[in-house]
Amino acid sequence: MAIINALVLEQMFLKHYQEWCLLSFSYVGDLDDSKDVVQSIFIKLLQKECNEPIKDLKSYINTSIRNESLKRIKKKQRTFSIENYSSEVPSYEHELIRSEISQTLFREIDALPDQNRKVFELCVLEGIKYENAAEIMGITVNTVKYHLKKTFKILRLNLRDVYLWML
């Protein structure tokens, strides 16, 4: 296995760094994040072992930067925090409300059917990929997706009052 030529990568990095940062910035909207994306792509490329050479390295890097930027956006959107909805100074009442909401959420998760709860815990709470969760549970990837779809539907239905109340 051949490692991608570090000298070629360094030259491309120096020549196209600003261009790639702007490409990432057009997706993520944050300069520091865009720099992190570009740098992480190059770190991955330096560590990557290839069986076959990459034919169009610049195009490959452009696509990698776009995909990594989209992943970063998706990850930020998933980060859900109740504090984002409250701009007031925390008080005893707010803490009580947060704890009640947390208890309600965990109660609803515990009330899910076993398979749905296990898939939800693996994929959502632990962040395991669908393929790995399917392997762990001994089911297909499509079954994992089905259980997640069903779980989100149940939770949306059961927690609609809590969600509206939170807003």
> Is a pLDDT exceeding 70 seen at residue 80?
no
Tens digit of pLDDT for each residue in 18-31? 888 888 888 888 88
pLDDT of the residue at 88: 55
β-partners of residue 2 are: 50
Instruction: Give the span between the Cα atoms of 65 and 55, in whole angstroms.
Output: 17
Summarised one tens digit per residue, pLDDT across range 94-134 is 777 777 877 888 888 889 999 999 999 898 888 889 999 99
Return the half-sphere exposure (C-beta side, CA atoms, 13 A cut-off) of residue 118.
Answer: 13
Stated pTM of the model = 0.45
% of the chain residues with pLDDT over 70: 84
